[in-house]
Amino acid sequence: MSGHVSPAELADAATRVRLQDLTMVTDAGMGHIGGEFSVTDILVTLYLGVCDVGAETAQDRVVLSKGHAAAALYATLAEAGLLARDELSTFVQAGSALNGHPARTKLDAVEASTGPLGHGLPIGVGMAIAAALDGSEGRTYVVTGDGEMQEGSNWEALMIAAHRRLDRLTLIIDRNGLQQGAAVAATSDLEPLADKLRAFGWAVREVDGHDHAALQAALSSVPWEAGRPSAVIARTHKGHPVSFMSDVAAWHHRVPSSEEASRARVEIAS
Amino acid sequence: MTLFDCRDAFADTLCTLAEKDDRIVAVVNDSIGSSKLGGFQQRFPERIINVGIAEQAMVGVAAGLAAGGRIPFVSAASCFLTARAMEQIKVDIAYSRHHVVLCGQSPGISYGELGPTHHSPEDLAWLRTIPGLEVIVPTDPAETAAAVTWAADHDGPVFLRISRTGVPAVFDAETPFHPGRAHMLREGGDVTIVALGTVVPRALAAADSLSARGIAARVLVMSSLVPLDTEALLAAARDTAGIVTVEEAYTCGLGGAVAEFLAQRCPVPMRMLGLRGFAPTGSVEYILEDSGVTADQVASACTELVERAA
């Protein structure tokens, strides 16, 4: 994949990924559709519009730390040609490689096994250190949820990355504002998040996490400051773009009824 | 008797291996001195990754380094490495099948007077439940060197338990390490002592005192807790009156592993000697005595099993 895919093409791909995701979750009767829909545009932009992944010579790495959004990852990998499309129908079925949370031992295209929160960023730091030791130009992108930033291990990793001047490491926070049970702000507030990240030594930008052009421009242009790792706070909506799911915490892991799925399908495709 | 600190053999061997294989890196949590890795740091300053006092991230970073083609040796006090980073050990290392060598330094009660916050008597019991993680407890400097060399070459996750407590040389320098194979250091058909780590000399002393009283105790050194040498255990269960396990750990470590296996395949009377509860303030020697992990207590347990069978 390369950066030559246009934002319009990324938008079309994201629509296909969301429709695929909806099918997988409704067929399986499980998933985390709210957070999958909030992170879809980030994943699609990374895999199709920014990163060099998949080929023998590929140097970039993507770690989805919010592993509960596995269905969105699988659908994106299929869209990027890194996973056979007919495997998607096996999502969470007995013996499938498509676990409810992604496993690197089950799928070659998965860079890290994730699920418990706060694991992906430390792993990404290790990957970035390995690349630096190799003198590689490869970039490492880690995608976390925003509630996930409540995990202390992330703040350990933020310090290590800044201290080691890992400027080929990029963190993208899917800032949908909701965690499983309630708003992040009502649970253990992160704000002022950008200031905190800057204080930890990171270069920070805030973008609309559903704007493919903005995401592609920000993610393709790292490092923004030599010697500093980059953090994108991607403002998103849980359940986007489905009107009755958007910004509703209950859709963290609710499964749509067939009637809801039909309505969602129309809204996603329109 | 000369006593050795196994950390020296660990650090020397790691330097020798790192000289030949530039994939080897050390990952530490401000534990360079306590791991005796000062020499490694001087020789390979780029290849020692000191993350600071951050055990969860330390283990995650090691997983990322392994994904990037490196062979990380994570070296940290076992109490912090295992208790603080257990989920990372489970998910990032074992479930992810990364070739990372977790080196639990100064484990068990080797920090003696520092107290239970710095003890890790539970590490063996915890770690042996994690699928795919090999759990190795070297006995002395020679076996430490052999186990470190093996672990560098073993394509999978490993935990090495390395003590600072002085131990005598038990093995010859050339003794190779084989996972899943116990060493029989004393032959005997009356009773069996299964031991690992720093308390192996207590098992040997017990066997020698029993021998003077006409009881032939077999001594198996089970340095490889996972995988366990089940053949040696089955033979011991069939040949002798019972099994006494000895460890510088809670008895759900080695004792539990041996009992789990034999209860299903060949149940025999057992006694398990090891640590009990949070240790009282005191030296390593004091705590082991307080817990009944002494040569005399091992011999008594053996005698009891032999008399019971008579």
pLDDT tens for chain A, 270 residues: list them. Answer: 444 799 999 999 999 999 999 999 999 999 999 999 999 999 999 999 999 998 888 899 999 999 999 999 999 999 999 999 999 999 999 999 999 999 999 999 999 999 999 999 999 999 999 999 999 999 999 999 999 999 999 999 999 999 999 999 999 999 999 999 999 999 999 999 999 999 999 999 999 999 999 999 999 999 999 999 999 999 999 999 999 999 999 999 999 999 999 999 999 999
Q: Which two tokens stand for residue A193?
A: 């998040």
Which is nearest to A132 in space by CA: B126, B162, B69?
B69
3-state secondary structure of A60: coil
Cis bond before residue B179 (omega within 30° of 0): no
Which of A59, A104, A121, A133 should we substitute to test contact with B (largest number of B Cβ atoms within 10 Å)? A133
Which of A114, A129, A165 should we substitute to test contact with B (largest number of B Cβ atoms within 10 Å)? A129
Residues of A in contact with B58 (CB under 8 A): 122
Q: How far is A164 from chain B (nearest CA, A)?
A: 9
Q: Give the mean model confidence (pLDDT) for residues B28-32.
A: 97
Residue A194 neighbours by CB under 8 Å, 6+ apart: A204, A206, A233
Residue B219 neighbours by CB under 8 Å, 6+ apart: B184, B185, B186, B188, B192, B193, B195, B200, B203, B204, B207
Which of A123, A141, A158, A171 should we substitute to test contact with B (largest number of B Cβ atoms within 10 Å)? A123
Which is nearest to A130 in space by CA: A78, A168, A96?
A168
Q: Give the H or E element holding residue B295.
A: helix B295-309
- Yes or no, beta carbons of A105 and B54 under 8 Å apart: no
| Sheet strands (E) in A52-181 | 61-64, 140-145, 169-175
Q: Please report the pLDDT score of residue A1 as a whole number.
A: 47
By CB atoms closer than 10 A (0-12, 13-18, 19+), residue B278 is exposed
- Yes or no, beta carbons of A129 and B88 under 8 Å apart: no
Q: Please report the pLDDT score of residue A54 as a whole number.
A: 82
Report d(CA A219, CA A240) in Å as an integer: 21
CA distances from residue A58 to A55, B60, B282, B307 in whole angstroms, order as listed? 5, 22, 56, 69
Q: How far is B66 from chain A (nearest CA, A)?
A: 8
Rounded to two decimals, the ipTM of the complex is: 0.96
Q: Please report the pLDDT score of residue A55 as a whole number.
A: 82
Q: Please report the pLDDT score of residue A58 as a whole number.
A: 87
Cis bond before residue A116 (omega within 30° of 0): no
pTM of the predicted model as reported, rounded to 2 decimal places: 0.97
B212-267 pLDDT, tens digit each: 999 999 999 999 999 999 999 999 999 999 999 999 999 999 999 999 999 999 99
Q: Are A173 and A149 in contact (CB under 8 A)?
A: yes
Residue A178 DSSP code: B
In DSSP notation, B48-84 reads EEE--S-HHHHHHHHHHHHHTT-EEEEEEEHHHHHHH
Q: Give the mean model confidence (pLDDT) for residues B264-288.
A: 98
Looking at residue A103, its amino acid is A
Q: Which two tokens stand for residue B79?
A: 């109490």
Residues of B in contact with A126 (CB under 8 A): 60-68, 72
**Domain boundaries B6-162, CATH class:** alpha beta
Q: Which domains does chain A have, with CATH numbers?
A: 7-269 (3.40.50.970)
Report d(CA B90, CA B307) in Å as an integer: 43
Q: Please report the pLDDT score of residue A4 as a whole number.
A: 78
By CB atoms closer than 10 A (0-12, 13-18, 19+), residue A136 is middle
Q: Are B177 and B170 in contact (CB under 8 A)?
A: no
Q: Give the mean model confidence (pLDDT) for residues B78-91.
A: 98
Residues of B in contact with A104 (CB under 8 A): 67, 96-97
3-state secondary structure of A100: coil
- Yes or no, beta carbons of A160 and B51 under 8 Å apart: yes
Q: Are B249 and B274 in contact (CB under 8 A)?
A: yes
Q: In chain B, what are the domain boundaries?
A: 6-162, 183-309
- With CA atoms as reference, the chain B residue closest to A158 would be B57
Angle (CA) A243 A245 A248, round 5°: 120
Domains B6-162 and B183-309 belong to one CATH topology? yes
Q: Give the H or E element holding residue B221.
A: strand B217-221
Dihedral angle at the C-alpha atoms of A237, A197, A219, A225, nearest 10 degrees? 160
Looking at residue B298, its amino acid is V
Chain B residues bordering chain A (beta-carbon distance below 8 Å): 25, 46-47, 49, 51-52, 54, 56-70, 72, 87-88, 91-92, 95-97
Q: Are A36 and A239 in contact (CB under 8 A)?
A: no
Which one of 3.40.50.800, 3.60.20.10, 3.40.50.920, 3.30.70.1350 gives the CATH number of domain B183-309? 3.40.50.920
Q: Is the pLDDT of residue B210 over 50?
A: yes
Report d(CA B259, CA B194) in Å as an integer: 11
Looking at residue A196, its amino acid is K
Is A149's Cβ below 8 Å from some Cβ in B? no
Q: Are B135 and B225 in contact (CB under 8 A)?
A: yes
